[in-house]
Amino acid sequence: MSAKLDRRRFVAAGTTALAMPFVSRGASAQAAWPSRQIRMICSYPAGGQTDLLARAFGEFISKQVGKTVVVENKPGASGAIGTAEVARAEPDGHTILCSISTTYIMNRVVVKNPGYDMDRDLTLVSVIPGAGLLLVANPKTGVKTLEDFVAFARKSGKVNFGTYSAGSAPHMTINELNKQYGLNIEPVHYRGEAPMWTGMLEGTLDAAMGSYTAAQSVLQSDRGTVFAVHSKKVGAIPDIKTLPEQGATSKFFTVSGFSGWAVPKATPQPIVDRLADLCVAANNDPKVKEVLATFVLEPAIGFKETNELYQRELPIWIESAKSLGLEPA
């Protein structure tokens, strides 16, 4: 009987021993991370919002983990060049992507061969939900509300409306307004917000849409009037109503987009969780707070909330983007 008992104990002990590497593997991966310098690849140019977020959060992470975080700008193809490089990287937490929802969602529609498959190749770690984008009218239009804008567009027959790229949120907003109100708003695509707002300053556009911060040159010179915000109110101008509050009904006007971080798909979950926790903790860092305030952005959110947001907004973005009828470039 004692022999049988000893055998049972031996089998149980062996089973436990076999299980131990699987239990401890994630913990050891987390404990060993990071073991060297971390590369944070920003898929947009230096000096812009995404770059400044990468540098502020990267500096905070570096201080917390005791390893250097080097930000490398790899712009091009709507963020696809830098993103594809991260997708091919070793999944050990030492290569991180900082990009935006265009890269994570829109490229599957507007870029023919982006070089990565978001769902197969990458894991979203943490994101910063986007701020409400401003719809700004040329003062000569007399527009102060969405109702005014619709009336102006109907009376004019054709209105030109600036966007910062084809397939962007402003482009989709124009498309959705045209569908709901039977308008003929014509998008005028620029290569970025700066040249678009220059078009407003020069008086060549009837309207345009973009971020609160980038629009300041137009607003402070009285060359534009904010008549709506896209999906959520902006704290600095709380009296301006959202498009849904003014009667616009498209589901697209409920999404906000986001900026944030991703890693190669097979990165161990403990490392993903640690990175997400660091991004959330960074919300209290003075430099991070300054960047968030500059661009009127919300704090970074955790891994679970991030992926819930992604799954919720993904089908709405894709449906709206496909309705543009763009041929992938």
pLDDT < 70 stretches in the chain: 1-31, 327-329
Helix (H) or strand (E) holding 199: helix 193-201
pLDDT for res 20: 40
Helix 146-156 and helix 169-181: axis angle, to 10°? 70
Q: Are 126 and 261 a contacting pair, CB within 8 Å?
A: yes
Which token pair is 205?
């556009």
**Residue ranges of domains in the chain, CATH in brackets:** 38-130+257-323 (3.40.190.150), 133-254 (3.40.190.10)
pLDDT tens column, 106-125: 888 878 889 999 999 999 99
Supply angle C-alpha 212, 82, 123, rounded to 5. 85
pLDDT tens column, 26-71: 445 556 899 999 999 999 888 888 999 999 999 999 999 999 999 9
pLDDT for res 29: 52
pLDDT for res 31: 61
Q: Are 144 and 226 a contacting pair, CB within 8 Å?
A: no
Outline where 111-255 has alpha helix (H).
118-121, 146-156, 169-181, 193-201, 216-220
pLDDT for res 81: 93
Non-local CB neighbours of 311 within 8 Å, separated by 6+ positions = none
pLDDT for res 17: 39
Helices (H) and strands (E) in the chain, counts: 13, 10
Supply angle C-alpha 109, 113, 116, rounded to 5. 90
pLDDT for res 10: 36
